[in-house]
Amino acid sequence: MQDFAAIDFETANNERSSVCSVGIVIVRGGKIVDKFYSLIKPEPDYYNYWCSKVHGLCASDTDNAPIFPEVWNQIEPRIAGLPLIAHNKAFDESCLKAVFRVYQMEYPDYEFYCTCMASRRVWPKGHHNLNVIAARCGYDFTKHHHALADAEACAAIALQIL
């Protein structure tokens, strides 16, 4: 796969609609041509301890952040016509669908691929966490659970195994 958008969300709490950051990496012709990162004011707007512990974000980080529709207006033209790829697409795709529902936006039924599922076919044994698979693909991954860093790792994996 040579043309795609790798996407990663972080959430503020256990509600899938509570996206608080997004990272996007646009790949065309097998080369990264664009990157996008934004904080997002989550909906519902509260943070639980465990989510903050994972990604390091808290309410003060997103108090003045734009709401999802404003952020998506910047993303949508970048990803037009591209399939989306995530590591554990079940999570990221469900977040995207949930936040579209919350804001009563029409979901365009994006084509989604999963590097986690693909990695299980390539390496049937062992762990398939993003950091493990990124390392197997030779990607130097240092900022795990930062949405843009995760999207960059996902793009690197996709270029190797999809």
Spatial separation of the C-alpha atoms in residues 60 and 116, rounded to whole Å: 32
Q: How many domains does the chain have?
A: 1
Spatial separation of the C-alpha atoms in residues 78 and 101, rounded to whole Å: 21
Report pTM. 0.95
In single-letter form, the type of residue at position 112 comes to F
Model pLDDT, residue 144:
84
* Cβ proximity of 14 and 54 under 8 Å: no
**Domain CATH for 112:** 3.30.420.10
Query: 44-80: per-residue pLDDT in tens?
Result: 999 999 999 999 999 999 999 999 999 999 999 999 9
Range of the domain at 127: 4-161
